[in-house]
Amino acid sequence: MIARKPGGLRCAIKVVCVAGAALAFSQQLCAQVVETIPGPLLETRPENGTPIAASVQTNSIFSQPRGLTLSTSVVGGYNDNVNASTGASTSSTGASTSSTGGSGSLYTSDNASLSYTFGTPRTKVSLTTGGGVTYYFDQPAAGYNPTGYLGLSLTHKPSERMTLSLSVFASYQSQPDLSTNLGSNQQLGSFIHSTDTISLAYSWTPRFSTVTSYTLDLLNYFSSAGSLLNRMDDTFGEQFRYLLWPTTAGVAEYRYEIIDYESAPLDSTTHFLLAGLDHTFTPRLNGTFRGGVELRSSESNGFQASPYFQSALTYILHNGLVIWTNSYSIEESNTVGVSSASAFRTGLTLNYRQSCAILRVWRQPKRRRFIIFWEHHRHLAVPSLPDHPPSVR
């Protein structure tokens, strides 16, 4: 529960004003959004036409058109804990562990991004880059906070049964990202984080398939206050999928995670033994559910066994979609010098196209930090050249 402040009413009025201005501004941008044609609601296997369970095209109405896309956005919101920072007390690792409370402020963020999507029937490539500046009105001392990111997505089908996927993403920012546990929930200066994934999917039979994956996460703070959080995560995964019914796939999954800190004595290894279902309830509603156990060995806490759960429900609206995610697991601490602990994380995302806005709400588990932000986008697309003919692919 978030404690009330004396200026709560004033802050609420500010948030309403920002949302009203955002809605008015979005009406001028809607005509510029590039329309794309949604794909099929349920994917089928190319070799025999059987459906793939829980494969609804949840992002089809927001997929990037082929060619060059320029996007600009104006984001407004309210952050109730802008400049929370670590205090003077120290833990056994010698790092500060207490924090001084930050104050709230309205903020605005202006961003621009450029993406290019191209490919052939067997290969699709998407390149994305962008950046922006965030300013806090009630905290001039915080100054302007620059951000930037680079992204690459590649999917290639060497054969009808095999699919190779590569995803690379790196960003530079100064404010914490509460949608992930990679980094601190406090203001510790600018940092870089990167998430890179490569996977290989193979359909052995019409009903049975496997997915082998590797994910690399990197976190690096430039300040001494956050340097003890710098780390590298390596995760190896293997999924075994079996099509139980046309809209339901049973999944058994194993993951092995290695966490290596740059200097803090918090290294760990974790085995995940999971089972679950991927199910398409209706053409518009699908869900993914995983449950099991994680077995963790760390320098700070020794051996730990804990239940693990994650789920995602996606509902496709007429002009948008709603995604609700939940997870319970042992997470790395987002406080300097503090070891890992069990945490429940939930997030709700609403993407609605007609208003050209994206509303996101994130609540950091067990932390007093709450952020609401409203995004507005404007797109300019340049059509790409036709694909090469089959004779020269």
Predicted confidence (pLDDT) per residue in 308-336, tens digit: 999 999 999 887 889 999 999 998 876 66
Does 344 have pLDDT greater than 50? Answer: yes
Burial tier of 234 (Cβ tally within 10 Å: 0-12, 13-18, 19+): middle
| 3-state secondary structure at position 24 | helix
**Average pLDDT in the 231-259 region?**
96
pLDDT over 70, % of the chain: 63
Q: Is the pLDDT of residue 8 over 90?
A: no
C-beta neighbour count of 237 within 10 angstroms = 18
What is the reported pLDDT for 84?
A: 56
Q: Considering the domain boundaries, does residue 309 fall inside one?
A: yes
Q: 3-state DSSP call for residue 167?
A: strand
Q: What's the mean pLDDT in 111-123?
A: 91
The Cα–Cα gap between 60 and 37 comes to 8
* Nearest CA-CA partner of 273 in 253, 296, 251: 253
* Residue 3 domain flag: no
Residue 65's pLDDT band, with cuts at 50, 70 and 90, is: low
Domain annotation covers residue 391 = no
Which of these, 15, 11, 60, 27, lies nearest to 357 by C-alpha position?
A: 27
Domain of 27, in residue numbers: 8-385
SS3 of 140, please?
helix
Between 386 and 375, whose confidence is greater? 375
Query: Structure pTM?
Result: 0.70
What's the CA gap between 153 and 197, in Å, rounded?
Answer: 10
253-280: pLDDT as tens digits: 999 999 999 988 889 999 999 999 999 9
**Residue 380 counted as domain residue:** yes
Distance CA 290, CA 276 (A): 4
Q: φ, ψ for residue 20 (rounded to 5)?
A: -65, -45
Inside any domain, residue 111 = yes
- Number of domains present in the structure of the chain: 1
Query: For the chain, what is the mean pLDDT?
Result: 74
CATH number where 155 lies: 2.40.160.40
Q: What is the pLDDT of residue 85?
A: 52
Answer for the pair 174, 147: CB distance below 8 angstroms, yes or no. yes
Answer whether residue 1 is part of any domain: no
User: Does residue 392 lie within any of the structural domains?
Assistant: no
- Is 166 part of a structural domain of the chain? yes
Residue 102: pLDDT band (50, 70, 90) is: low
